[in-house]
Structures are given as structure tokens and as C-alpha cells.
């Protein structure tokens, strides 16, 4: 497990066990989606959109938010990753 994943798991555990509210500031929207229940999107120091996390990711209202979500890097899946070494792709 990566250090980042361990820290996120610890934050989630502490928040749940101690009833904490955590303000988490990040440019990593995949982390925001995992960790946060509410999200505020800021641009030039101003809040441009605020919503429950699922609602914001599923149906962003602002063009800026849509652009940010579209910029989240997605893993590139290699279709041949299951091929044994030395065997030609199907």
C-alpha cells in the first residue's frame, strides 16, 4: 500500500472514530472524491461551485468544474498485459 493510501486510510479512520471534521485541500480530485463528503471548487481564490461530492462529480454545474474533472488522468490499460512473456499478442 502506498504512503498516500496509508495516510488517507488513517485520516478516514480518525475522522470516523473521533467524530472529526477534516478540511482537506488538494489539487488531486481523485483523493477528494475518496476522502470528502462535501466539495468546494475554487478558481482565483473564489468558490465557483460547492456540492456533495457525488453530486459534483456526477453532475458538475460549472464549466470550470467540468474542465477540472475532465483533466483527471485515467489509467491507460494495456490490452496485452495478461500475455505471458514471449508470447505474441492476440
Whole-structure pTM over 0.85, yes or no? no
**Owning domain of residue 49:** 24-71
Cα distance between residue 33 and residue 58, in whole Å: 11
Does 84 fall in a domain?
Answer: no
Residues of the chain with pLDDT under 50: none
pLDDT digits (tens, 9 = 90+) for 63-87: 999 999 998 887 776 667 666 666 6
Q: How many domains is the chain partitioned into structurally? A: 1
Does 46 fall in a domain?
Answer: yes
Does 41 fall in a domain?
Answer: yes
Nearest-5° Cα angle at 40, 46 to 63: 75
Q: Which of 77, 69, 83 is nearest to 33 (CA)?
A: 69
Amino acid at each position: 500500500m502506498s504512503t498516500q493510501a496509508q495516510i488517507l486510510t488513517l485520516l478516514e479512520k480518525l475522522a470516523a472514530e473521533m467524530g472529526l471534521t477534516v478540511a482537506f485541500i488538494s489539487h488531486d480530485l481523485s483523493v477528494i472524491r475518496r476522502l470528502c463528503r462535501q466539495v468546494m471548487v475554487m478558481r482565483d481564490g473564489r468558490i465557483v461551485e460547492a456540492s456533495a461530492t457525488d453530486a459534483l462529480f456526477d453532475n458538475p454545474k460549472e464549466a470550470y468544474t467540468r474542465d477540472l474533472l475532465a483533466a483527471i488522468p485515467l489509467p491507460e490499460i494495456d490490452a496485452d498485459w495478461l500475455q505471458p512473456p514471449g508470447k505474441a499478442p492476440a
